[in-house]
Structure 1
Amino acid sequence: MSDSTSDSVLAPTAPGERIQTLDVLRGFALLGIALVNVEFFSRPLQDINAPGIDPTTSGADYFVEWLTYFFVQGKFWTMFALLFGMGFTVMIDRADRAGRPFVPAYLRRSLALLGIGLVHTVLIWSGDILVSYALGALLLLSARQVRRAWLRRSQGREPAPMTASRMGGWGAALYGLPLVVILLAGMLDSPPSTSQPTRAQTEHATRIAEKAVQRANAVETYSRGSFADAVDQRIVDTVWQMGTLPIATFWVVGLFLIGGALLRSGVMSNPQACLHWLRPMRNVGLPLGFVAMAISTWLGTASPNEELSFREAVQVVLFLVASLVLALAYGATLVTALPGPAGRWLGDWLAPAGRMALSNYLMQSLIGTLLFYGYGLALWGQVGRAWQAVGVLAVFALQMLGSRWWLARFRFGPVEWVWRCITYGRIAPIRA
């Protein structure tokens, strides 16, 4: 059936049709993301490449900073991206099973996510991840349609869906390509042959100076400015961050494909039948990821984004490899624990928070900015990392309670409901 056929039978996934494993993982990922994001509610995003473990901290603040960097940073953003890829794959596979096209709904879903992300990054917090996810989803759709058109032309028939192994292979290749580029950049780095600064060095120094000015402006605006001032600064920050999109898109699309492969292979949709995959993912992934993180942390914790030495390149690459390996290992650990004694508790508490992951993610940003920004309680720079983590745990506990209360009365979270209505082009029933 052609992609122009009406998608009128497509509808939001009913609560009884959801894969609870994915909801539990979303809730878990939401907590990890909050533990990292909270630092940048009270610190400018221009510091995103500053040392991941601040050497000026001490005591409990240093301990929490170290734990967050080693065990959390990078891993849960990666897990969230994998889960988004699984969600998009669920939509594609449901449409294929029903014999209906999915492109119109998928396009509306991605554009709606882009709109939500833009509202978030401009009006709430500029550390948004939704815009990059939406752009990655649109790029993935374009690549799929080109592939299908080429296969129709070359084979003269409707192509079969991409297999899980092929999806995983393409995902790993896309995720790994920037890592190869980073290593090559580090290998090709060499000291200048003259004491006079080169043109590239001069331009680099100019960019550093401009970034320092942007940082100072951000600190002044977010710590003391009005809401209107903060909106203007968020626009500046968002435009500045757009420079990272080309390389970030490789990672996002790669993770979407890896997540889709895990879903399509049955590892996530039927985990009990795939324990022979999940247990090695946990038992090998955890020590391998921790070793990679240990070496990376020993080499350094900064994330240089322009000129870098070979040592720095190895440090960054090991960090990114560990982020993916540990995201998969953490997920496998949680999934294999679900049939055990902790499974019911995880399902009762993490799953509701995961079903409302988008609403909860936006709420975390709203709470964080109202606490730390000048137009809120103005706590910018006054709360150490240890108390930040305590605050995150308290807010997340309230979100788990609130999510259970809400979903006992409604079928979807509030933002999820709006997203689904736009996706499927009609008002979905929201009452439970």
Structure 2
Amino acid sequence: MIPNHAAPVAALGPLPLGERIDALDALRGIALLGIALMNVESFTSSMLDAGTGIDPRQAGPDRFADGFVYIFVQGKFWTLFALLFGMGFATMSERARAAGADFAPVYLRRSCGLLAIGLAHSLLLWSGDILFCYALASFALLGLRNAPRGALWPIGGLLHLTIVATLLTATAEIAVAGNAGGGAGDTAAENALRSAEAAAYAHGSYAEAVALRWRYFLEQNLSTLWVYVPMALGMFAIGAWFVRSGAIVDPARHHRLYAGLRWGAGLLGLAITLGGLAIDSEPVLVGGRLSAADMLSATMELAAAPLMSLAYLAWLVRTLQRGARWPLLFAPAGRMALTLYLMQSLAGTLVFYGYGLGLWGQVSRAPQVLGACVLFVLQLAFAQAWFARFRYGPMEWLWRWFTYARRPALRRAAVPTSP
């Protein structure tokens, strides 16, 4: 059984430290490392080109690092975070029922707070934000609060399959049309945006970078919400099922499910990802250069990501069931995942952007990945030191304050010493 100290509470409020599920914090911490490995490329190159397969111009350690991230990390960890978000939603909902509290107002404040944080992150810090997408999906998730437990898996799967089917239809249309999808106007607009990124991020001031983030948000981020919001909502629904079914608290009673996720979903996801790479190892999803092979390869990677995310969850659960303690070393980072996620963006932009160290475009793939690992180790040390004195991470504390409309205690109570 996964360690669990959860018990009914008298009133709805921030979850006390003694009632957290350690395995979920560990999984959040591991996912945070994956997010760092995935996002580092986007700090030092055009956002249009990040995550587009394995660059054939690379060799040696750079090619290995690029391939490892694309196959095992790209797209897998933001979906894993979405799964965990759904678990948190279901936990809040069940606690509200136990307390006889009105869940909707608290949850809506929580979602509005996340929306504000996501907007600020995307517009003021870094364009690759995922929090805004999570927040939009979280509003829709409230409508699933009273959905039958057995409907949550089908809802999650259907949402994901609908996006995949839509992209496959677009792939077929491009193949039938026999063109490169898009035109000269698209190519010119994309090249202009790349040039603007290089000017603002590599050499520009903070104000110039912020101006470009606004432009990117309006021209790019909003146009992809139709893909990422339904995908996030689907993972939310599946995560809620794990809590409502008891599968995350008592996995021994669901051993067949976890075995199926470890071997079935995991291997299928890996096979689909590798199949996409065999079709096109560097899918470029920008209009002027888009081909049917690009589209199919990227769609296969997207289709595989939730399968591998679920497998990662199942493997971690299995590791803990067997008595391993090393995953729990990641738990402090998972307890302040929001704070550390924002810190990763701050560190990435200060290292690579012109208003920081100005290394934009100058660091190859292997050092990028190594640097992301070093940053995470430092973050983990920071989290351990922080929780020696405080109950919540700084951003988590502010978010809880806004959510529950009362200030939670931040400092740990002093332990009295013997005279």
Q: TM-score, normalised by structure 1?
A: 0.88
Kept in 2: contact 1:183–1:310 (CA 8 A): no
Superposed CA offset, 1:20-67 (max 9, x none): 111111011100111010001101212246x32111112211110011
Kept in 1: contact 2:283–2:295 (CA 8 A): no
Kept in 1: contact 2:87–2:243 (CA 8 A): yes
CA distance in 1, matches of 2:97, 2:216: 40
- Match for residue 334 of structure 1? 316
Superposed CA offset, 1:108-136 (max 9, x none): 00000011111111221111000000011
- Match for residue 346 of structure 1? 327
1:54 and 2:39 are equivalent in the alignment:
no
Aligned pair partner of 1:35 in 5, 23, 37: 37
- Match for residue 415 of structure 2? none
Aligned pair partner of 1:163 in 148, 163, 177: 148
**What's the CA shift for 1:164?**
2.8
2:171 maps to amino acid: G
1:326 maps to amino acid: M
1:187 and 2:172 are equivalent in the alignment:
yes
1:186 maps to amino acid: T
**What's the CA shift for 1:303?**
4.8
Superposed CA offset, 1:70-128 (max 9, x none): 11111111111111111112111111222221111101000000111111112211110
Could you say what secondary structure the match of 1:215 adopts?
helix
**More displaced 10-residue stretch of structure 1: 310-319 or 371-380:** 310-319
**What's the CA shift for 1:316?**
2.9
Aligned pair partner of 2:15 in 13, 16, 19: 13
**What's the CA shift for 1:310?**
5.0
Q: TM-score, normalised by structure 2?
A: 0.90
Cα distance, 1:118–1:326 mapped onto 2, change above 3 Å: same
Kept in 2: contact 1:126–1:237 (CA 8 A): yes
Matches within 5 A, 1:270-419: 270-300=250-280, 301-304=282-285, 311-342=293-324, 344-347=325-328, 349-419=329-399
Superposed CA offset, 1:219-255 (max 9, x none): 1110001111111111111112111112221111111
1:45 and 2:47 are equivalent in the alignment:
yes
CA distance in 2, matches of 1:18, 1:164: 23
Kept in 2: contact 1:45–1:237 (CA 8 A): no
Kept in 1: contact 2:48–2:286 (CA 8 A): no
**What's the CA shift for 1:324?**
1.0
Unaligned runs of 5+ in 2: 1-9, 413-419
CA distance in 2, matches of 1:239, 1:9: 41
Kept in 1: contact 2:283–2:293 (CA 8 A): no
**More displaced 10-residue stretch of structure 1: 13-22 or 286-295:** 286-295
- Match for residue 222 of structure 2? 242
- Match for residue 203 of structure 2? 224
**More displaced 10-residue stretch of structure 1: 32-41 or 85-94:** 85-94
Matches within 5 A, 1:27-176: 27-48=29-50, 51-141=52-142, 143-144=143-144, 161-176=146-161
1:390 maps to amino acid: L
Matches within 5 A, 1:196-215: 204-215=183-194
CA distance in 2, matches of 1:100, 1:108: 15
1:105 maps to amino acid: V
**More displaced 10-residue stretch of structure 1: 367-376 or 261-270:** 261-270
Kept in 2: contact 1:164–1:262 (CA 8 A): no
CA distance in 1, matches of 2:149, 2:387: 33
**What's the CA shift for 1:181?**
1.1
- Match for residue 3 of structure 2? none
- Match for residue 154 of structure 1? none
Superposed CA offset, 1:187-222 (max 9, x none): 2335559xxx9xx97x73212211210111011110
**What's the CA shift for 1:313?**
4.3
Task: Using the aligned pairs only, state the percent identity.
Answer: 43
2:70 maps to amino acid: Y
- Match for residue 4 of structure 1? none
CA distance in 1, matches of 2:207, 2:218: 17
CA distance in 1, matches of 2:133, 2:149: 24
Unaligned runs of 5+ in 1: 1-7, 146-160
**What's the CA shift for 1:16?**
0.7
Kept in 1: contact 2:335–2:393 (CA 8 A): yes
CA distance in 1, matches of 2:87, 2:274: 30
Aligned pair partner of 1:427 in 378, 400, 407: 407
- Match for residue 246 of structure 2? 266
Kept in 2: contact 1:108–1:422 (CA 8 A): yes
Superposed CA offset, 1:263-286 (max 9, x none): 222221222332232122112222
CA distance in 1, matches of 2:336, 2:326: 17
